[in-house]
Amino acid sequence: MTQSQNYAIELKKIDKRFGAVHANKAIDLKVPAGTIHGIIGENGAGKSTLMSIIYGFYTPNSGEMFVDGKPYNPNNSQEAIAAGIGMVHQHFMLVDTFTVLENVVLGAESGWKLEDSLKAARKKLHQIEKDYGLDVPLDKLVGDLPVGLQQRVEILKALYRDAKLLILDEPTGVLTPQEADHLFAILDKLRSQGTTVIIITHKLREVLAITDNISVMRQGQMVADVKTSDTNREELAELMVGRKVRLKVDKSEAKPAKELLKVNKLGYVDHSGVKRVKDISFSVRAGELVGIAGVSGNGQSEILSLLSGILKPTSGSFELNGHTISVDKPADPQQVRAMGVGHIPEDRHKQGLINKFEAQEAYILGYHNLPKYNKGLLQDKAAISKICQESMDKWDVRPNDIHLKTANFSGGNQQKLVIAREMEENPDVLLIGQPTRGVDIGAIEYIHQQIIASRDAGKAVLLVSVELDEILSLADRILVVFDGAIVGELQAHQADEKTLGLMMANIIPDHIKESIAQGETA
């Protein structure tokens, strides 16, 4: 604690209910001024609710808040901003077609003429940039900036509004490790200038790297406040989940057999003429797990969509389980499934599930034309219920209710439902995108075990993930994509976070360059 008993924000017995849901139970939180404070917890632990209370979106049912020792009861975000609190949301609140300057000023304009506020803002921003070492091109369109810079625009926005307490929600979700390091350097600078920072995250490594203190939430309660220097990953994981968690995945040596997926100069040009996938070639063997690493938006989504039949290739071809799919011979997702492919999509809300549907309806998505689900012209509802029920029992999907709308399951259980659906059809090739995004640590453990189990059962598994930890702990071989091309390939034993991080930014270390034997891909 830098300044004893001087808290940037203090919460006393904050309680919030939503009807039957008790989201925050008597939360106490003390964040010393000028420190970086981490708040960790699983999905649904109540972190977002708590932050929304601090930022004035929700009013607590009871409890008190103090900012700099003064009582603080915000009714909306304007009052929170006025009290010196700034928030950087996980999904940026920026207008892509405005310049950085216009974005920063948006909502804080003064006077009649926009030019005047822009001029004043420019002066103030130059000062802020100088003070904190935040370098952002003020006159560029936000849409043209990489995500790392967009995030800095968000931070600038908060500082422009004189934030003395900055809350960042999952700030490193979209960043490369190098960009994350850069962000941490900025946060460090902010701290040294007296700004207080709260980081909400589920990445234990990062919270350990940057914070001074950590608060852990579980099931609506604050279960621990620890000094960062006194704790470690295992302890934090156990506090979050409430039981011992194995962070390391046990897996045996892969036993690759015959090639089940062979990609040959596959290319994809989207409708606006941009080449998203640049003539990539690779293969996955039965019993092998190949990971695709890369910063999100570098073509990995398109690769999955191409291989699963959602997108039609514009050049090249690939072989799935003996079937060739090419520009002239495309296949739709149902045909691809029939070739023995299971696809766990990257985004279960957008693709994998239909929120409005009951679990049993979502369970047949993509397989709804199979004879076992139909009886003549009508669907066989009894069979659907029975098969879904068996699957939910087997995969321990909770709550175990086939009639519950999929939106009402937790992230981990939604994902289990999707994985159950795809794996129960016993495919030979598994395409997996972001299997543990937004999933609780407990469920992550289970999902990772199942992915390894399906590899060991002789399936060819292709895993796309932006979580480096996940790629490193699961994959036997790692392909790195950058700007739609495969820029490198590593065996699991060659890979570490730093090497991968550099390769994800298209900087190929020399020793890797030498070991890439099968020619260039860019």
Partner 1 sequence: MSQAKVPAWVTIALLPAINVLVAFLVSALLFIYIDINPLDAIKVMWTGAFGYAEGFGYTLYYTTGFIFTGLAVAVAYHAGLFNIGVEGQAYIGGLGVGIICLTLGEYAPWYVVFPVAVIAGGIFGAAWAFIPAYLQAKRGSHIVITTIMFNFIAASLMAYLLVDILKPETTMATESRVFAQGSWLPKMHELFAMFGINVAPSPLNISFIFALLCCVFVWLFIWHSRWGYEIRSIGANASAASYAGINYLKIIVITMLLSGMLAGFFGINVLQGELHQIKLNFVEGFGFTGIAVALMGRNHPVGVVLASLLFGFLYQGGAELSFDYGVDRNIVVVLQGLVILFSGALEYMFKPSIERIYLRLFGKQEHGVA
Question: Interface residues with partner 1 (CB under 8 A)?
Answer: 17-23, 44, 46, 48-49, 308-310, 332-337, 343, 345, 350-357, 361, 364-366, 368-369, 373-374, 377-379, 381, 408
CB of 70 to partner 1, least distance (A): 28
Give the Cα separation of 418 and 399 in Å (integer): 15
Nearer to partner 1, 118 or 310 (CB): 310
What minimum distance in Å lies between the beta carbon of 225 and partner 1? 23
Type of residue numbered 226: V
User: What number of H helices and E strands is found in the chain?
Assistant: 17, 22
Q: Is 233 or 381 the residue whose CB approaches partner 1 more closely? A: 381
**For 47-84, b where at least 16 C-beta lie within 10 A, e where not — what string?**
bbbbbbbbbbbbebeebebebbeeebebeebeebbebb
H-state helical runs in 26-146? 47-54, 77-82, 100-105, 114-132
Nearer to partner 1 (CB atom), residue 22 or residue 122 = 22
**Three-class DSSP category at 60:** coil
Distance in Å, CB of 219 to partner 1, minimum: 12
Looking at the Cβ atoms of 164 and 343, the one nearer to partner 1 is 343
CB of 369 to partner 1, least distance (A): 6
Q: Closest approach of Cβ 3 to partner 1, in Å?
A: 34
Q: CB 355 → partner 1: shortest distance, Å?
A: 7
Cβ proximity to partner 1: between 387 and 485 the closer is: 387
Q: How far is the CB of 499 from partner 1 (least distance, A)?
A: 33
Q: Which is nearer to partner 1, 350 or 493 (CB)?
A: 350
- Alpha-carbon dihedral 415, 421, 427, 429, rounded to 10 degrees: -30
Whole-angstrom Cα distance, residue 46 to residue 58?
Answer: 13
Six-digit token string for 256:
């690759």
Instruction: Assess contact for 23 and 17: CB atoms under 8 A.
Output: yes
For residue 60, cis peptide bond before it (omega within 30 degrees of 0): no
455-481 residues labelled b (16+ CB within 10 A) or e (exposed): beebbbbbbbbbbbbbbbbbbbbbbbb
Measured distance CA(487)–CA(248) in Å, rounded = 28
Of residues 7 and 268, the one with the C-beta less far from partner 1: 268
**Residue 264: CB minimum distance to partner 1, A:** 23
Least distance between partner 1 and beta carbon 406 (Å) = 10
Smaller CB distance to partner 1: residue 199 or 336?
Answer: 336
For 509, which DSSP code?
-
Considering beta carbons, is residue 33 or 387 the nearer one to partner 1?
Answer: 387
Around 425, how many Cα atoms within 13 Å sit in the side-chain half-sphere?
28
